[in-house]
Amino acid sequence: MKRVTIDKRGSVTAQLSIATQALLSEKIQAQRGEIIAAKVLERSQRYGHLEDIYGRQVEIHVGDVVVGALGQRHALHGHGGVIPETLEVGDTIHMLNLGGVMGICKTSNPMVGPPTVLEVLGSVLTFPVIDSREGVPANLNMSEMSSTPALQEQHIKDVPILVIISGTCMNAGKTLAASAAVRALKKSGMGVDAAKFTGVAARKDVLSMLDCGATKAMTFVDVGLPSTSADSAPHSAKQLLYALSHQGTNPDVIVVEMGDGLLGAYGVMEILKDPIIAQIPTLHVCCASDPVGSFGAMALFANELKKRPDIFSGPVTDNHIGCQQIREQLHTKAFNAIIHTEEFGAAVVEGVKELQKLKHQKEEV
């Protein structure tokens, strides 16, 4: 064991208690969620910041000792990377995202350049037994919420209306739409909680929803994942739904952002297809970057989910032309969450109230 002084911790580790003067083990388990300390060797010009445990973006410097979690990332407009098969002290790995997820970068978008390069110092030890000097390698699955039960069919009646914001790709306006939906629902008098079901660890999106009025906001990191996949996403989503509807603030509605796109590797479609989640009354908002993307999203919803989006938003709605194409050709509401904030919010509130009415009628039968 050796002791190091941690300069910065990625937000992915926020749920764990890690001392600034941390003890490290040279025996490293190269597995999802393992907490790693590393020294910055080369700093990315584009990804030169780290989102810390408070949600602030802090600049990182060569020589800094940073702590993050091993995980994967599959980002069209960022870095794509995997967990290494083995990992030893002295190996080099990469910072894959703003929140502190670490791995081996396999590909990068030319617009973001190469990733920050890190030298592995060791696995961060935690001491869960009071007065014991027996250290245990820290992992995200040690977080308090990681053992949250997953939503079962008998719990569906306790889940409030969902507003799910999905999109054709990253950077399609999902966070802006989710935040606008939260603000409108809150102003209408409803109690609103929020969640991010898929993507790679970062707090900025749910912090935006909290800023807009959500009482409580959670992400998959809270239940032990550095990033989601097709295999893990449905279970973690049902854990979050159980926590927010049974252990939270008794909201009237939960606004959910799906990170990345409908066809991405983070499990968006797998969540939407889940037989339990599919039974929950849901208003679907889909964000698209262009008209062809909106047509593709409509086809995916129809073919894979036997549903259709209730509202379109995102860059495709940046002006009247895109909105008109969607309304006339897809026969669906279309509002830009920034430009048409009031209209977008009113459509979300109206849709949620209609679902609440139908839910109450069903319960009375």
Amino acid 365: pLDDT = 65
Q: Are residues 92 and 172 in the same domain?
A: no
Per-residue confidence band for 135, with pLDDT thresholds at 50, 70 and 90: confident
Q: At residue 12, what is the residue type? A: V
Q: Do both 119 and 222 map to the same domain?
A: no
Residues 334, 215 share a domain: yes
The answer to whether residue 130 scores a pLDDT higher than 90 is no
Of 127, 142, 157, the domain-final residue: 142
Provide the number of structural domains found in the chain.
2
DSSP letter at 227 equals B
Residues 287/172, Cβ–Cβ less than 8 Å: yes
Structure confidence at residue 138 as a pLDDT band (50, 70, 90): very high
CA distance 168 to 35: 32
Domain that holds residue 9: 2-142
- The helix or strand, by DSSP H or E, that contains position 236, with its residue range, turns out to be helix 233-246
One domain for residues 205 and 86: no
pLDDT exceeds 80 at position 248? no
Question: Do residues 52 and 177 share a domain?
Answer: no
- Which three-class secondary structure state does DSSP give residue 128? coil
> What is the C-alpha separation between 60 and 44, in angstroms, rounded?
9
Q: Which of 49, 23, 13, 2 is closest to 136 using CA atoms?
A: 23
Is 241 in the same domain as 171? yes
Closest among 228, 181, 215 to 350, alpha carbons compared: 181
**Which pLDDT score, from 0 to 100, does residue 316 have?**
96
**Lookup: tokens for 179:** 């935040």
pLDDT at 159: 96
- CATH number where 315 lies: 3.40.50.300
* Residue positions counted in the chain: 365
End residue of a domain, out of 115, 142, 169: 142
CA nearest neighbour of 312 among 295, 267, 188 = 295
Query: Edge-to-edge, what's the strand order for the sheet holding 192-198?
Result: 216-219, 192-198, 253-258, 161-167, 282-287, 311-313, 333-334
Q: Among 112, 142, 172, where does a domain finish?
A: 142
Phi/psi at 299 (5° precision)? -65, -40
Q: Which residues pair with residue 95 across a beta bridge?
A: 102, 116
Note the pLDDT tens digit of each residue in 145-179: 999 999 999 999 999 999 999 999 888 999 999 99
pLDDT of residue 134: 78
User: In the structure, what pLDDT confidence band is assigned to residue 285 with cuts at 50, 70 and 90?
Assistant: very high
Asked if residue 129 has pLDDT above 80, the reply is: no
Q: Are residues 296 and 195 in the same domain?
A: yes
Q: How far apart are the first and last CA of the chain?
A: 64
Residues 169, 271, single domain; the answer is yes
Q: Is the pLDDT of residue 218 over 90?
A: yes
Predicted local confidence at residue 85, as pLDDT: 95
CA trace torsion 265, 73, 172, 202 (10° rounding)? 130
97 and 200 within one domain: no
Asked whether residue 132 carries a pLDDT value surpassing 70, the answer given is no
Query: Do residues 176 and 281 both lie within one domain?
Result: yes
Q: Looking at residue 128, what is its pLDDT?
A: 72
**What gap in Å lies between CA 120 and CA 26, rounded to an integer?**
10
| Predicted pLDDT at 131 | 66
- Indicate whether 171 and 209 sit together in one domain: yes
Residue among 355, 362, 158 at smallest CA distance from 276: 158
**pLDDT one-digit tens code per residue, 31-89:** 999 999 999 999 998 888 999 999 999 999 999 999 999 999 998 888 999 999 999 99
Average pLDDT score, the chain: 94
Pull the structure tokens for residue 92: 């080099």
Residues 215 and 337 reside in one and the same domain: yes
Q: How high is the pLDDT of residue 172? A: 92
